Structure formats: structure tokens, C-alpha cells
Amino acid sequence: MQTLIMNFTRIYEDQEFCKGPDFQWIHCEEMQGTDCYLDPDTENKLRKEISAFPLHGLHFIDSGNTHYMSKLWTDRIQEPFTLLVFDHHSDMKDPLFDGILFCGNWIKASLDKNPNLKKLILLGVGDDHVSEIDSKYLPRMDILKQSECIHPDFAHLFTFDKDFFKYPIYISSDKDVLLEKIVHTNWDGGSFTLQNLFKILSKIFEKGKVLGVDICGEPSEQDEEQVLLYEAESDRVNGELVKFFSRYQPVRSIC
């Protein structure tokens, strides 16, 4: 699977998992207005940048503060699809400024503006974040709350409803869905283990058609005392993710 690195905070430059010729890079370090809220002019630049790369690949999109990139990637899909999101947060808040895309509303904006997005599946969201979701969206959603993911082997028991594989699937995963003893992100963490994450993903690749994958959840550089530890954790987990996804190949979408 082709792997792309979107380097907003420079954190990937110190990680080993992405070294080598098999990784392509988009350098976003000098772009203005990318931290949490996305400047409209920069949004246009990013859309142009990613248009040169295929959707059917693995995209590392930096921290949770740039999770809005998932909307830019999925806006390219020109066929009905399901969006599957692993995230400890709902990302369905209202922005402080009307019409501005940010990391906390990108799913809501996608549901509002992308007519090809037919189904949203949100796995691992914190129970207290479910209340952020406007009830009008619930008929288009399936939600598995954090409290339902606590059992150590819940993924083995996890079942898909009959419509789960009706459409091809785009996968977006924030590493904050994982337990903090596995990896620290720049947001609070969830209850997934890597084993449970991989079990569910394996079922999806085996039974469905996956259009593409993106990963966010890099740690913050602000805590200098912890940064080396957190970067090493993230580097290790990213390496495990690359190893897992290398076994699969997404299908080409109509873009």
C-alpha cells in the first residue's frame, strides 16, 4: 500500500517508521492557518497538493489538530461510500466561526456537504462525547461507544450489521482511540488495544472494499520533558500500523 506523510508539525522527521524510499511526503510545515482551524486559502492549497496523490493509499496526516484532512481526502470520492472513523471524540461540534473547517467539526461538515457520504460509523467515541451529536444525524450513523469497547476481547465478538458493507469504505483513525498506556496523543485517550483495532480492520478488509486510509494522532511537541517518550511510542505504533496495512491493498475509487 502506498504511504504518504503529511508533515505539518515536523514530528515525522524524528521518527524511524517513515524513513526510506517507499514513503512520499507533502511538506506542510510552512503553511499558515493549519493548527485546529483551517484557513480557507490554505485549504485550497492542500486540496491541490493532495490531488497529485492517489486516494487508495495510507495517509499519515499528523496530529489530531489536522484531522480535518480526512474531509479533504473523502471529498474526492465520486461514488456512494461509508466513512468509518476510529476516534475518542465525535468531531461533530459547531465551529466558533461559521463556515470554517476545524478538527472538531470535520465529520459534521462531511455529513452536511458530501452527498456521496451515505453512512458514518464511529467506533470508540467517549460516552460523554456522544451528547455532542445532533439527533438529526443519528439515522445515518452507527456508534460504538468507549464503554462498549472495554472488554479485552470485544473485537472478537464485534458483529457488523447487514448494511455495513453496502458501500465501499474509507477508514480514518485517530490514535487517541487507543489506550494511553499504548500511545499518548495531544488529546485524551480511549480504550482500544492495537489487537482489537487490528481485528476489526482485518474483518473490514476481508469482507468489504476499502477505498483508502488515513491516520492521525501524533503527540504534541509542547511538553519537552515527555516529548521523547511520546514520540517513541508514536513511532512504534506507526510502524505497527504500516506493517498491518502493508498486507492489504485498497480499491481504486472514482475520483
3-state secondary structure of 215: strand
Taking each helix axis as running N to C, give the angle between helix 194-207 and helix 227-245, from 0 to 180 degrees, rounded to the nearest 10.
30
Q: What pLDDT digit, counting tens, does each position of 133-191 carry?
A: 999 999 999 999 999 888 777 887 778 877 889 999 999 999 999 999 999 998 888 88
CB 87 within 8 A of CB 176: yes
- Please give the sequence-ordered ranges of beta strands (E in DSSP) within the chain, or none if there are none: 3-7, 23-27, 58-60, 81-86, 117-125, 141-145, 169-174, 210-216
pLDDT at 54 (0 to 100): 95
pLDDT at 126 (0 to 100): 94
Q: What percent of the chain has pLDDT over 70?
A: 97
Matching residue, cell 477508514 = 171
Model confidence, pTM = 0.95
The three cell numbers of residue 67 are 484531522
Evaluate if residue 228 carries a pLDDT over 80.
no
**Cα-based distances in Å from 113 to 75, 79, 110, 118, 207:** 9, 14, 5, 11, 28
